[in-house]
Structure 1
Amino acid sequence: MQDLKPQIYGPTDGDAWWVLQDRIRILVSGEQSGGAYAVGVSEVPPGAGPPPHVHAAEDELFYLFEGQLLWTLADKQYQGVAGDTVYLPRGIPHTFRNNGNVPAKFLLIATPSGFERFVASVGVSCPSGGRLDPPPITPQAIQALMAGAPQAGIEILPDYQFGPMAELPRHRESLWVLGHHVLVKLTAEQTRGGFSVVEITSPPGAGIPPHRHSREDELFYVLEGDFTFDIEGVSYAAPAGTFVRIPRGVWHAPVNTGSGPGRMIDIHTPGGFEGFFRECGTPCTDISAGPPAADVDMDRMAAILAGHGMEIRVPRT
């Protein structure tokens, strides 16, 4: 049974564990999502990363928002930079290493849930914020990882051979949607129906009217600026680093209350919501030109909303 309460976590909220030298902060557990997914934020110091491995039980979605990572996915290596989004179906050998000189930080979603229990079972509890001072890799830490991985359907591949470098596929469809810039990063087609992933950039004062989804949960991570979320009539401050989970059926309305542009990751699960952005928006060829003049046909908008399982509260004039 899914927990229908919204969740709001600040930059250092949530339980965290060291898994070798990666710090993983869990934000959503399987108990909260009804087993559909788990969400965490992973911080990787320079030179660190997990050993090559493969998951039998879950798919993974990564959004890198700080630093850089050298990904190994199947038989290729890819250089990842901030803003890159990777969807990795189960059964594909992979690893990553922070080959930069500053910590790398990414949002991780595993579906179905269960990965969060593995993290807690093999990791060492640690503070979730502050300076990133990884512990030394001890024989005990390696033993815990090797013993816990098979129980979680994870196979460690110590003899894995790394492949050649290749260009990371990047999907960047640029749209104007109701005055906001929307950059489509992953679609339902690319995630086996699991997710739609976009970046939303909002000008100061811009917001989205109160609305709710009947089909999808919605996950936000504030990258830049200051937002306020109205959730079921209660306002919550959401500065950079805030994570917000909105279960389906919950009324919500984010507004950029900062003095400059604000930017968020916006994820819908299951996927398909990119169709709404495409129907409601217009292609953006030059973000510096600003959004087109607003000309909203509320009857057309109501039909689009209904077609995507949404309700919205907008006064009609």
Structure 2
Amino acid sequence: MTQPIHRNRTAGTWISWLGSPAQFLILGEDTGEHYCISRGKSPSGGGAPPHSHDFEEGFYLLSGKLTFRAGNAFVDLEAGDFINIGSGVAHSLENKSGEEAEVLIVCAPAGFDRFQIEGGYPMDGPDSPTTPFDEEGKRRLLESARKFGINMSPGEAEFLKEPQIQITRGHEGVTVDAVGDRYRFLANQQHTNGKYAIWDAKLSPGGGPPPHIHRREEEGFFVLEGRVTFYSEDGSFTAGAGDFVHLPRNGLHWFRNETEEPARTLILVAPGGLEEMFLQTGVIVDDPSNPLNAPTAEEKAKLVQVAPDFGIELKLPEH
């Protein structure tokens, strides 16, 4: 399948997880098992118990605050912050604040989605009642964990180890201007054992890439601000803030900010590696407050030259 998938705030697969609603924006079965993404809420006093697993897990805070324990590290995150927790690292999270937190969760490769769907309770949508996390809920979760290889009781020694984690605050990350857009990298393939890369993309009015095909990676977008229009051989649609879009490998597509205001979207590729193309061809930004560097003819020519090295087929207009 090469058709794009568009999910808004109410679409996707919903479950009651640890007593709170969780929305799967994309499942592993949709991405060739390269990744899955969910959006969940954690009430004040809520969180997730200690556990570990054999895949990468990234968290992007959409609102509120959460405290993560990963190995021997304690990390407080707030809206706009990101953390990737490496495979095998024992971790937990807790909402110690007095307000609800909302978080976007990436798992690469996928598999955690099947564990959660089987270990949680199905919901018809965001307005459906949640199921309390009682003793039966715990039994259900532990049974699913055993089935899917999730360790729900890592020893205390695991929390004495130096963890493999990547933390990128809302104002941090290598930033590059790439062919008219600004990309701030939250995690690259070196941070995620090659499983994925993710960046915050700012699209100026009229911004976006030319039509192209990815031969190596699946691509996902979570729109943070504004509106972005996506095109494929099947037509077009516009995604607004809070929407998710998946663009499968081998499908011709492009996207554009067709409004008069800037737009922001998280962009994820799985596996990672494509970020290196932008680092090679773009302009490093030392001060994010500086205006966007307009693309030069030299930059465009370099992109055309190196794109095939990254499995990208550009479909440029003929002159």
Global fold match (TM > 0.5): yes
In the alignment, the residues of structure 1 paired with residue 40 and residue 269 of structure 2 have an alpha-carbon distance, to the nearest angstrom, of 20
CA contact (8 A) 2:179 2:294 kept: no
In the alignment, the residues of structure 1 paired with residue 21 and residue 92 of structure 2 have an alpha-carbon distance, to the nearest angstrom, of 16
In the alignment, the residues of structure 2 paired with residue 108 and residue 53 of structure 1 have an alpha-carbon distance, to the nearest angstrom, of 15
Cα deviation for residue 111 of structure 1 reads 2.8
In the alignment, the residues of structure 2 paired with residue 168 and residue 311 of structure 1 have an alpha-carbon distance, to the nearest angstrom, of 31
- Which amino acid in the other structure matches residue 24 of structure 2? I
Q: Structure 1's 169 and 29: CA in aligned 2 closer, same or farther, altered over 3 A?
A: closer
Among 36, 39, 42, which residue is 1:41 paired with? 39
Cα deviation for residue 227 of structure 1 reads 0.9
Alignment partner, residue 208 of structure 2: 207
Alignment partner, residue 25 of structure 1: 23
Cα deviation for residue 135 of structure 1 reads 4.5
CA contact (8 A) 1:52 1:95 kept: yes
In the alignment, the residues of structure 2 paired with residue 12 and residue 145 of structure 1 have an alpha-carbon distance, to the nearest angstrom, of 25
Residue 60 (structure 1) aligned with residue 60 (structure 2): no
In the alignment, the residues of structure 2 paired with residue 128 and residue 258 of structure 1 have an alpha-carbon distance, to the nearest angstrom, of 30
Residue 81 (structure 1) aligned with residue 78 (structure 2): yes
TM-score if structure 2 supplies the norm length? 0.88
Describe the superposition over 1:50-105 as per-residue Cα deviations: whole angstroms up to 9, x where unpaired: 111122x4332222222221001012210012222222223211111122333322
- Tell me the SS of whatever aligns to 1:41: strand
CA contact (8 A) 1:21 1:49 kept: no
Residue 120 (structure 1) aligned with residue 121 (structure 2): no
Describe the superposition over 1:200-219 as per-residue Cα deviations: whole angstroms up to 9, x where unpaired: 01122222211111111111
CA contact (8 A) 1:52 1:160 kept: no
- Tell me the SS of whatever aligns to 2:47: coil
- Which amino acid in the other structure matches residue 48 of structure 1? G
Cα deviation for residue 175 of structure 1 reads 1.1
Quote the RMSD (CA, aligned, Å).
Answer: 2.6
CA contact (8 A) 1:185 1:199 kept: yes
Alignment partner, residue 302 of structure 2: 300
In the alignment, the residues of structure 1 paired with residue 176 and residue 291 of structure 2 have an alpha-carbon distance, to the nearest angstrom, of 11
CA contact (8 A) 2:108 2:270 kept: no
Cα deviation for residue 134 of structure 1 reads 5.3
Cα deviation for residue 233 of structure 1 reads 5.0
CA contact (8 A) 2:108 2:196 kept: no
CA contact (8 A) 2:173 2:186 kept: yes
Q: 1:6-21 maps to which residues of 2 (within 5 A)?
A: 6-21=4-19
CA contact (8 A) 1:62 1:86 kept: yes
TM-score if structure 1 supplies the norm length? 0.89
CA contact (8 A) 1:45 1:98 kept: yes
Cα deviation for residue 186 of structure 1 reads 0.6
Q: Structure 1's 154 and 233: CA in aligned 2 closer, same or farther, altered over 3 A?
A: closer
Q: Structure 1's 231 and 100: CA in aligned 2 closer, same or farther, altered over 3 A?
A: farther
In the alignment, the residues of structure 2 paired with residue 87 and residue 188 of structure 1 have an alpha-carbon distance, to the nearest angstrom, of 11
CA contact (8 A) 2:213 2:250 kept: yes
CA contact (8 A) 1:30 1:114 kept: yes
In the alignment, the residues of structure 2 paired with residue 240 and residue 233 of structure 1 have an alpha-carbon distance, to the nearest angstrom, of 22
Cα deviation for residue 120 of structure 1 reads 1.6
Alignment partner, residue 196 of structure 1: 197
Cα deviation for residue 263 of structure 1 reads 0.5
5+ residue gaps, structure 1, are none
In the alignment, the residues of structure 2 paired with residue 47 and residue 127 of structure 1 have an alpha-carbon distance, to the nearest angstrom, of 26
In the alignment, the residues of structure 2 paired with residue 126 and residue 258 of structure 1 have an alpha-carbon distance, to the nearest angstrom, of 35
5+ residue gaps, structure 2, are none
Q: 1:216-295 maps to which residues of 2 (within 5 A)?
A: 216-232=217-233, 234-295=235-296
CA contact (8 A) 2:178 2:295 kept: no
Cα deviation for residue 34 of structure 1 reads 2.5
- Which amino acid in the other structure matches residue 89 of structure 2? I
Alignment partner, residue 313 of structure 2: 311
Cα deviation for residue 189 of structure 1 reads 0.9
In the alignment, the residues of structure 1 paired with residue 279 and residue 56 of structure 2 have an alpha-carbon distance, to the nearest angstrom, of 26
Describe the superposition over 1:162-219 as per-residue Cα deviations: whole angstroms up to 9, x where unpaired: 77xx997336001111121110111111111111111101122222211111111111
Deviates more, 1:183-192 or 1:298-307: 298-307
Residue 152 (structure 1) aligned with residue 148 (structure 2): yes
Cα deviation for residue 145 of structure 1 reads 1.6
Cα deviation for residue 316 of structure 1 reads 5.0
Percent identity reads 28
In the alignment, the residues of structure 2 paired with residue 11 and residue 158 of structure 1 have an alpha-carbon distance, to the nearest angstrom, of 34
- Tell me the SS of whatever aligns to 1:271: coil
- Tell me the SS of whatever aligns to 2:184: strand
